[in-house]
Amino acid sequence: MKRYSIDISYDGTVYAGWQVQPTDLSVQEVIEKVLLKLTSETIKIHGSGRTDQGVHAKRQVAHFDLEKEWVPRRLYAAINALLPPDIRVLKVRNVRSNFHARSTAKSKEYRYFIWNAQSISPFDRLYKTEISRKLDIKRMRAAAKLLEGKHDFAAFTASSKTTIKSTVRTIFSLEVKAKGNNIIIIAKGSGFLYKMVRSLVGWLIEVGDGSADPEDTTEVLASCKRTSRVPTAKAKGLFLWKVNY
């Protein structure tokens, strides 16, 4: 068996997320069907992590094994020829047999895009979340600083069918950048829990509009309990930006 990794970019608008679902179409399912058509091999691809319904990826990474050996550039061209236009393979590589897209990843970067004004452009409506109430960037940055580092992020995750050993994670940096009406929240970390990034963004929005104080962040973290104080931001503004190995 030969192992390959692929870098993938996709618009998640019409998909039920990355992971195969019982009824709804996922990005993983689309790619697996393309590989079956190309290779006549039933293949399971393994992503670096799952993205939720409506979440996009600038650069997701996945791996899979094939019995027949392919030249990476030919496999790249063949896959893209069969994929729908909202999914694209950016690169195909030969990798070692012990490479695993999820478990060997060193860090991930997510970016969340906000339009902080009314009347979002129709060309941005699927890729940014519109928030008309004015957000205070300084307050958001103060709260973001308190979320950096190694913490138990149980208060910033949602219940999932997947069993996990720990809710402790490390955020290397959580930046809030602003230019005009555009706000970008950039989260870099060793890994993220289910809906964790959207929960972090939801909290920063609460702080930004004055519904919570930056200092409340420490209390929420220490509670290790998810409550209605931490809303989940909408999916469409979120992008899996980069996976580092």
40-62 per-position pLDDT tens digit:
999 999 999 999 999 999 999 99
* 68 lies in the same domain as 115: no
Q: Does the pLDDT value for residue 161 go beyond 80?
A: no
Mean pLDDT of 170-192: 97
pLDDT value at residue 96: 97
* 129 lies in the same domain as 79: no
Beta strand ranges found along the chain (DSSP E): 2-10, 46-47, 56-66, 87-94, 107-115, 129-130, 149-152, 168-179, 182-189, 238-244
Q: Does the pLDDT value for residue 163 go beyond 80?
A: no
pLDDT value at residue 164: 84
pLDDT value at residue 7: 98
Give the predicted TM-score (pTM) of the model: 0.95
* 192 lies in the same domain as 157: yes
216 is catalytic: no
* 227 lies in the same domain as 119: yes
Mean pLDDT of 209-230: 97
On whether residue 103 sits in a domain, the answer given is no
Return the axis-axis angle of helices 196-208 and 137-147, rounded to nearest 10°: 140
Task: Look at residues 189, 242, 210, 196 and name the one whose alpha carbon lies nearest to residue 142.
Answer: 210
Among residues 7, 11, 24, 52, which one is catalytic? 52
Q: Which domain holds residue 59?
A: 2-94
Mean pLDDT, the chain, as a whole number? 96
Q: What percent of the chain has pLDDT over 70?
A: 99
Q: How far is CA 196 from CA 82, 106, 213, in A?
A: 33, 18, 20
